[in-house]
Structures are given as C-alpha cells and as structure tokens.
A and B are shown apart, each in its own frame.
Chain A
Amino acid sequence: MTGVVGPPPAALSPALENLLRVLALLDYNTRLVVLTTALLGLASGLVGTFLLLRRRSLMGDALSHATLPGVGLAFLLAVAAGSSGKSLPVLLLGAAVTGLLGTLLVLLIRNHSRLKDDAAMGIVLGVSFGVGIAVLGVAQDAGGSAAGLEGFIYGKTASLVRSDLFLLAGTAFLVLACVLALRKEFTLLCFDEAFGSARGFPARRLDALLLTLATLVTIAGLQAVGLILVVAFLILPAAAARFWTHRVGPMLGLAAGIGALSGWSGASVSALFGRLPAGAVIVLAASCFFTVSLFFGRARGLAYRWYQHRLFERKMDRQHFLRAAYECLEGCYGRDHRGGLPPNRPLPVRTLRANRGWSEAEWRRMLRQARREDHLERVDRGHLLLSEAGYGEAARVVRNHRLWELFLMKHAAIAASHVHRDADAVEHLLSPEMVDELERELDRRDIPGSPHPLPTAGAEARADPPALPR
C-alpha cells in the first residue's frame, strides 16, 4: 500500500483531518448519512416542483407540523406495549398517520366551511403543533428514553443507525421513481386539470397521489431536516429552479440538483460540527441557491430582467438620438441630396436639442453612447457631425419609424398629428421580419417623407454651415 498513497503529513491538525474524512466520505456512517440526505433532497426537489406548480407549497407546512403528535403518540404506544419506543419505523408510521390526518383536515375545513386555504392551513398547523408539544411533554414524564424525540423538530442526522438510513433512502427512491414515472400526468394535472380529467386522468386521484408523495418526503425528511424546516426543503429548490427555465423538464432537473446539493452540504456540515443541526444548514444552503437564482436566473431573475431593461433603454436612446439628427439634417439641408437622402453635414446642436427638449443629463448620456458606438464623427463649435456608420444607422431607424407611421395611418385611422407619439412606442420593438412585412404591406422601398413638420434650424445655421473637412 505504501507508494500508492503517501502517509498523511504529520503536521495535519485533527480538525483538518476530520474535514477531509467527511468531505471525502471516508467514514462509512457519514457516507451513508450524506448520501441519504442528498437523495432526500433530490426527491423533495421533484415533489416540490409539482407542489409549486399546483400552488400547494404551503400544504407541506401543515403536513409537517401535523406529524409531531404522531411521533409522540407512537412513542407512548410503543412504551405501553413494552418496547423502548425509539424504533424509527414505528415513529415514522405515527408521523405519517397524523400528517395525513392533518392534510385531510385542511381539505375538510376548506371544502365545508367558508374559510379559505390559508386560514385552514394556519389552524391545522398551529393546533397540531400545540398538541404535538403537549404529547411530547407527556412522553417525557412517562419515562422511557424520550430524549431523542426533539430531534424531529430541528433535525438530527448523526443519531441515525444503518437500518434507519436504508429505510429513508428507500422511501426517497420510491418517491423519485413515482414522480419520474408520472411526470407527464402531474404536469397535465398542474396545468389544466379539467382537460386532464376529460382525457381520463382523474384529478382527484392524482392530487391524492401527489399529496401522498409529499407526505412520504416530509416524513423521511423529518430526521434530516426537522419538521419546522422540511417545508423549506420542499419549496426552496423548486422556487429557485423556476428562475432559470420556462420548461417543466429542466425545472425538475434543476430543482432535484439544488435539493441534492443542499442535502449533501447540510449533512456534511452537520457531521463536522456536532452542534449545528443538519436542518438549519440544509435550509441555509437551499436559500443561498434561491437568492442567487432570484437575482441571476436566466429566465426571470431580477438582474437578468434589469439587464434586459437597460439594453432596451440604450436602444431607445440610440434610436431617438439618431432619428432626431437625421430629421434635423432633412430640415436643414432638404432630403434630395443623394437619391432621396439628406446630405451628412454638420448640425447645429442647439436646433437638435431644442427640437427634442432633452435635459442636460439626457443629452450628455446620449452623446456618450453615440461616441462609444462610433456614431459620431466629431462635435465642436456647437456643431455635430455623424459618422458614416451613424448616418447609415440613422437612415435605417428613420425608415422603420416612418413605415410604422404610414402603417398606423393607413390601418388604424390615427390622425397624422398623433402618429408620431404612437410610432415612438412601438418602433423600438420592430423585428426585421416585421419591417419586411411593413414593406410588403405599404409597397415601399425608399425612406418615406415625414408626415409632420420637420425641425428647421434658425437662419444662422442655414446661412453659415461651418465647412468641416470630410
């Protein structure tokens, strides 16, 4: 064996050694705990996606709190029957029974009273948690070793033994398989349950199945995350995934991945620092993923949307500036210089600005941008000259604008004096295909004249255009 892996450096501190052991999954029990928690995260990401799409995310909250009385009662019954009461399968069975009862109670209250979803869930959540705490108190007094039961509230993975882990992993795997097999049915249920029912996929049974899967994940997650935080395990990965994609398939994959990573990191950190409950770390990790997605998600993240908005604003600025310059050229020098186009000569800045009523700050911003985009040849002595590229772009922008104006006048019966404003709003959104269609519709290849008066320079500008070298 020597020669393959060298002996560990003697200077390695025990803490670092421990870290390595955990991260490299060297320890058998740690490996089992970490993998089980990751698998749970994967399953809850998948179930959570459909809960989110079905707008049932909070159902998980009522459900998880309703498991607590079950844990306590199962413990009491087991003690009464003569065992130690700490058998995980028995406790989880109790949790499942009261958890399902809790969700049924929510549905009952909602369907048969005038209370809405939120009130029904709040009632069930609060009452069952209160009852659960009381039952746990009784269990402490009843003797036996009830000490580990609070683990269900905050989550504690380290105390799990091998057979328990296999039970949890098996449950997670079952849920995973069910969700993947019923992916298309659940999608249909969440999108359009009436159509789904008409096609022979009964909404009620699918709903019940989805709720059962949520119950299984919740109960399996009790030990890992704890009942208070398990609902975050269900919501956060799915909610984070939604910011990255507009398709159910990738959303499922992402949510599963985020869930698994959160579970893995939570269990690892909890194994490293005995005092940190796994549930808290798992939820913190998941909330990090969520926060990053909220801002940077490619599909609907805030930063992405802000960036898109900025791009659009710049485009609007550019088009406004160039069109104003072009119309100023037409107004000052006429539009018959070279084949229906005005000449590209220096423009008096005062005329340009007076026409649009831009503020000083707006004007500077637009000038900066025009320089950056090489649309300006030079600005001096109160005059401004477009570059060749700027002039070409200006002609294109003006043409689109006027084609749109003509189209509006022809088809929307808008008075010429009102056209300018309306055309302004839409022209920035015209795609090349739409421009093609406009050309066909109006049968025009040239740049149409403006339907409203153009800005003209004062007499001084017309009489004395400074001769700038071209």
Chain B
Amino acid sequence: MPGREHSARAPLSIHDLTVAYERSPVLWDVDLDLPAGSLVGVIGPNGAGKSTLLKACLDLIPRASGEVRFFGRPYREVRRRIGYVPQRESVDWDFPVSALDVVTMGLYGEIGWFRPVRRHHRERAREALAKAGIAELADRQIQQLSGGQQQRVFLARALVQRADLYLMDEPFAAVDAATQRTLTDLLQELREEGRGAVVVHHDLSTVRAIFDWVVLLNLRVVRAGPTEEVFTEENLAATYGGNLNLLAQAGEALRQREGT
C-alpha cells in the first residue's frame, strides 16, 4: 500500500521494514498497523524472524530499511510506554542477583543514569512480583528459581514499568501449567485496562484462546488480522509451507481445536 499514512493511534505501526544479517535478508517488507488495546500473537516456524521483528522494532538490531512508530512516534521518544520481555534463555541465570534485583531493573530507565535504586522503587518491584504470583521469592537468587518462576520474574520486570504496550518474546516457552494460567490472566488484564501486547508464540493450540489478532510470519508477513479471519488451516499451510513436519503439527493442533 504505497503512501499509506501511519495512524497516530496505532500502538505499533511498521512500514516497509527489512532486516538483513550480512546482506541476506531475514525479514522482508513488513507492513503492519496493529489495533489499539489488543493482544496480538506473532506466529511462524523457527527461523521465521519473529524475535528479529521485535528486536528491530526496539532498535536493538539495525534495520536495512523501513520505519517503525509506536503511538505515532519513534521508539526512543516513547521508551517508557513500551515494555519488553526478552526470551528467558537469552540471559545467564547463574548471575549474582535476586529476583527483586531483576525486577527493579525494569525501573532503571525511569530512575535514570547514575542515580541509586531507592526504597520506593523496591516497593514497586515487590508489588510487581506479587502480581506475577511470586512475592515470597523476592530474595531468592535467580538460579534457585524454576523455569516458570524465572519467566514470572521477567514478566514482573516488564509489568513494574506500567507500559502501554508490551513486546514479549516466547513468554509461554517451557513454563508449567500454573505459570501459563498466570500469564494468560495477566494478558487479559492488560487488555481490560486498554493496554496491549505483541507476543511471539509457538503453541498453535492456544492461539485462539489468547489472541484477538495474529500476525503469521515467515520472513515476510503471510497474513495479519483478526484471529477468526486469519488463523485458518489454509493460511497456516502457507506460513509453515515447505516444512512438512511443522505443517502436520499445525494441522493436528487445528483438528484438536475443532474437536473440542
């Protein structure tokens, strides 16, 4: 759609985004306008560029071309309004910090350069931990937490920031059932408060239950739109095409979904 204007209301609008590593593109011509206050699932096979999309939006990796706007502004002007939950495996959990320390990191941007963390910051971090359901683990060293608890710590670190839009990279990966429920509830709560989230997701069987909107991604946007319209067997086949195993999984997930 050449010449399309970016809506200032859209929490995230991406125009013509291309990302390349060593000159071979990993994301082609992504063009998206996400609706306000909704939960958006980003779905696609491994290596489809899902994490890359989030990172490119947050200026963490250079863009070959294209523009990204959050609420009509470039990211660096609206950092505070955007929360980020990286993949859990992206950090070394043997690091000498407690769960509370990690959550206060979500406030560092607000605290600013050179200034120390104060008591009221730690209070807010405790509240965020409570919201993630692990208030009693605040002083635990992060290595002693289970995978699900670590994911909750990351979630609390993002929540403490009270952002208007959250970008989450595979928060549902390898977590226990209880954590999955907490995550789903928190996402619903965000939506009820008129805030939104863009979530990289891998479990096709839960997509319909969680997301209002989906982006089907495989190096380019295959389809994007309301879940009922876009999350169809045909579109999934187009997204996962060429990878028969994954295609079979996708079909299986859909069959299970329709059976219930």
Contact = CB atoms under 8 A, between A and B. Distances in A.
B171 to A, nearest CB: 14
B132 to A, nearest CB: 16
Nearest to A203: B60
Interface stretch (B5-13, B91-99, B198-206, B250-258): B91-99
Contacts of B76: 200
Contacts of A194: 55, 60, 84, 86, 90
Given A191-B97, A192-B86, A195-B84, A184 B91 contact: no
Contacts of B55: 194
Among B97, B109, B114, B116, max chain A CB count under 10 A is at: B97
B108 A184 contact: yes
B60 A191 contact: no
Given A192-B90, A245-B96, A246-B141, A185 B84 contact: no
Interface string B76-105: 100100101010001110011110011001
Nearest 7 pairs between A and B by C-beta? A199-B109, A246-B141, A198-B84, A198-B58, A192-B91, A246-B96, A191-B95
A185 B97 contact: no
Q: For the side of the interface on B, what is the size category?
A: 20 to 34
B117 interface: yes
Contacts of B114: 181-182
Contacts of A184: 108, 111, 116-117
Given A191-B105, A192-B91, A198 B113 contact: no
30 contacts: A184-B116, A184-B117, A187-B101, A187-B105, A188-B105, A188-B108, A191-B91, A191-B92, A191-B95, A191-B105, A192-B86, A192-B90, A192-B91, A194-B55, A194-B60, A194-B90, A195-B86, A195-B157, A196-B108, A197-B60, A198-B59, A198-B60, A198-B79, A198-B84, A245-B96, A246-B141, A247-B141, A248-B96, A248-B101, A251-B96
Interface string A431-443: 0000000000000
Nearest to A195: B86
Contacts of B95: 53, 190-191
A309 to B, nearest CB: 17
Given A198-B60, A245-B96, A247-B97, A192 B79 contact: no
A201 interface: yes
